[in-house]
Every structure is written in C-alpha cells, then in structure tokens.
Structure 1
Amino acid sequence: MVSPTSKEVFIQGITHAGKTFRPSDWAERLAGVMSSFRPGGAKPGSHLSYSPWCIPTTLNGVKCVVVNSDLRDHEPMAWDFVINFARDNDLQVAEACLLPDPPLPVQR
C-alpha cells in the first residue's frame, strides 16, 4: 500500500468510491490522537499541538492528514495505526512530498 521509501503519505478524506469521508473533522481527530507521537517523545502539554509527523490540512478542498515517514521509523505501531485507519475506512492514500512555500518577494 505504501512504499518504504516514501517521505510523506497523504491520507485523503475521499473513499475509493469517490465519497467524502465523514465526520467532517476526521483529520483533526486523527491528528489529535497522534499528537503525543513526536520527536523526543511526549512532553507535558504536547497534547495541545499536533505532532510534526501527523498534520491535518486541506488540499484542493479535500481534508487530508500528512503523515511523515519519521513516524514509521520512530513509532512503528503508531504508523500502523494511521495506515490501518486509512485502509479500514477505504480512504485514498497518496505518496508525496510537501514542497516548502516559495520565498516571499523582497519589498524595497
């Protein structure tokens, strides 16, 4: 399902049948569950922010969760959890790499 060389995986809120996945806040919920899995491990208050390894976003109007492969390397059971969540809910998964935003033009 996911190549071992992928740097990032996008779990998209669209089923393979093309239906929008519900509830509408599924991405935030999934990322919230994964908030304690982060570089250096969970710390007091880490549940108040998303892990850099599992971030909810919207791409082209579709809710997604971007899962970084560092999660697989550091927390294999957490990686399996998010991948199995996608599989169990028949969600589309894409392997990709987020590109940084282009630099802002210099104003003079």
Structure 2
Amino acid sequence: MPKSKRSWTAKEDNELRTCVRNLGPRWVKISSILDERSAKECAERWNNCLRPGINATSFSLTERQMIKEFYRIYGPQWSRIAANLPRRTSQMVKNCWYSMRRSEAIRIRQSSEAEA
C-alpha cells in the first residue's frame, strides 16, 4: 500500500507510543504495524513531536536570541543549533527561526508604510 503524507491522528500517535515502548526505535518494524506510515514518518514523528522530554512550549526571548546568535555562527545547521537548546528539536528551532523572520519582515513593511 502506498504511503502518503497526511496529518497524524491521536490514535496513530498512541499506537506509535505503544510501539516504541514495546519495540524500541525499530522504525521499519513499527511502520509495518502502522501500515499507512513509512519508517521515516514514524521516526520523524517520534523524534520531533512525541519523544519524552521535548519542550513543546513557546520559545522564550532568551532562546530566540540564542537561535539568532547561533544562526549567525552556524547558518542553517538546525541540528547544531538545537544541540545548544536543551529539549528543543532541530525542527522546532528551524520553525522558530522562520517565524521570527516572517514577523521581522512584517514589522519592517509596516514601519516603511507608516513612514510613507
């Protein structure tokens, strides 16, 4: 059966948690149990969203400043930046970075419109 990209359901999340608890990170085996998900999808969902210890709260001002500073040093090496932010994943760091860039672009555009 072809595997397709779609949103994860709460049922699938619970099944994934159960599989990891019983089998460990055996993604190919787990994907055969969650037959509509690939091994890569299972691993990414676990590592980026469900893994215990992930801090899913909003980034603090200090964390945002750290991301800016580490980006200046490393560029878009999200894993390397995330290694300096405990309990944050590389995906979370990347999303925060692009969110900050969008917000900054909006502020600049609004500022230039106000001056005109």
TM-score, normalised via structure 2 length: 0.25
Q: Larger C-alpha radius of gyration, 1 or 2?
A: 2
Question: Which is bigger in relative contact order (C-alpha 8 A, separation at least 6)?
Answer: 1
Query: More strand by proportion, 1 or 2?
Result: 1
TM-score, normalised via structure 1 length: 0.26
